[in-house]
């Protein structure tokens, strides 16, 4: 199977057990004009708490991937993301992933000390593949049909899981052609991205099929609208659903769980892993 550690620039990620990736908000404070300072401070405090709660990775993004979100211009994304990436590495020694699709942000993030590139567009934007190859960093490839702006309009699949696996297989091949070694890749089925409720549920049920790609699997379900639709819960009430889904994904092979509620997610991920490991332990006793 895939290796148990992942080399992430200056840092190493231990994947002998599943880990939690904390989602760090770096939304700009539009009400204070010298805001960049307060923004960075707030992000650092939130990051410290997530690390204390057991996050192995901190995911930093410019909030441009939400459905219907206005695209952020390149300079704005750089200004938001790069100082945070730099501070998290230097001041907290954190392993940082950068949620970006932009070549310049990939390049500058790597130079600022980021450890993982997390691209919901799987390096399909111009120059992104080359920038990721040059960065030497691991890359998370995520499945999405279409673009964030229009993706929820009317997604269609004949077989959602098979199409997700086929898409990821193609992106892996494209990365290898561009000089990104297979050992540097992670895969993500992209829950909530251009998928209706039935697509998301079936994809979760069949998620173990992604293990055929033989790469570490990352998933993000935290607080997504899926729980709003299935459980009729507002975004502030989606933690139980998110935790149940995290457990189910770990049972089906997920090794990195992206989440807002780090402390709670770390507990359920550890417990799901302990149950999975008990089988291995009893097999060891028998042999």
C-beta neighbour count of 75 within 10 angstroms: 9
Q: Which residues contact 174 (CB under 8 A, 6 or more apart)?
A: 123, 129
Query: Are the beta carbons of 89 and 98 closer than 8 angstroms?
Result: no
Task: Mark the segment that binds ligand 7PM (CB under 6 A) among 6-14, 32-40, 59-67, 240-248.
Answer: 59-67
CA–CA separation, 32 and 28 (whole Å): 9
Give me the least distance between CB of 283 and ligand 7PM, in Å please. 32
Q: State which of positions 214-273 bind ligand 7PM (CB under 6 A).
A: 218, 220, 222, 224, 258
Q: State which of positions 183-202 bind ligand 7PM (CB under 6 A).
A: 188, 190-193
- Return the structure tokens found at 42: 């707030």
Residue 224 among the catalytic residues = yes
- Choosing from 80, 107, 238, 258, the catalytic residue is 258
Total residues interacting with ligand 7PM, rule: CB under 6 A: 19
Give me the least distance between CB of 24 and ligand 7PM, in Å please. 10
In sequence order, which ranges of 72-196 are alpha helices (DSSP H)? 74-92, 103-111, 128-135, 160-177
Give me the least distance between CB of 205 and ligand 7PM, in Å please. 17
Query: Are the beta carbons of 219 and 257 closer than 8 angstroms?
Result: yes
Which residue in the shown chain puts its C-beta closest to ligand 7PM?
220
Give me the least distance between CB of 280 and ligand 7PM, in Å please. 27
CA–CA separation, 155 and 157 (whole Å): 7
CA–CA separation, 56 and 171 (whole Å): 26
Residue 258 among the catalytic residues = yes
Where along the sequence are the contacts to ligand 7PM (CB under 6 A)? Answer: 23, 65-67, 99, 118, 120, 140, 142, 188, 190-193, 218, 220, 222, 224, 258
């Amino acid at each position: 199977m895939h290796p148990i550690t992942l080399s992430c620039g200056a840092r190493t990620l231990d994947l002998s057990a599943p880990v939690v990736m904390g989602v760090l908000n770096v939304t700009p404070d539009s009400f204070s004009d010298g805001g960049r300072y307060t923004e960075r401070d707030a992000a650092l405090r939130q990051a410290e708490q997530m690390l204390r709660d057991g996050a192995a990775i901190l995911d930093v993004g410019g909030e441009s991937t939400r459905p219907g979100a206005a695209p952020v211009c390149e300079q704005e994304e750089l200004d938001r993301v790069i100082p945070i990436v730099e501070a998290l590495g230097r001041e907290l020694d954190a392993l940082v992933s950068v949620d970006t699709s932009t070549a310049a942000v990939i390049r500058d993030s790597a130079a600022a000390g980021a450890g993982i590139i997390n691209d919901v567009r799987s390096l399909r934007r111009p120059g992104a593949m080359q920038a990721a190859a040059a960065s030497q960093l691991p890359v998370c490839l995520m499945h999405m049909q279409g673009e964030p702006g229009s993706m929820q309009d009317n997604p269609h699949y004949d077989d959602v899981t098979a199409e997700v696996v086929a898409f990821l297989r193609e992106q892996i091949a494209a990365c290898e052609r561009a000089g990104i070694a297979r050992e540097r890749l992670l895969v993500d089925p992209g829950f909530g991205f251009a998928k209706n409720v039935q697509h998301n549920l079936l994809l979760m049920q069949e998620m173990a099929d992604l293990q055929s790609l033989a790469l570490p699997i990352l998933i993000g379900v935290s607080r997504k609208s899926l729980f709003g639709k299935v459980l009729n819960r507002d975004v502030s009430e989606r933690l139980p659903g998110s935790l149940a889904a995290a457990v189910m994904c770990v049972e089906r092979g997920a090794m990195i769980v992206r989440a807002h509620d780090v402390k709670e997610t770390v507990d359920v991920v550890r417990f799901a892993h302990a149950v999975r490991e008990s089988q291995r332990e009893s097999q060891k006793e028998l042999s």
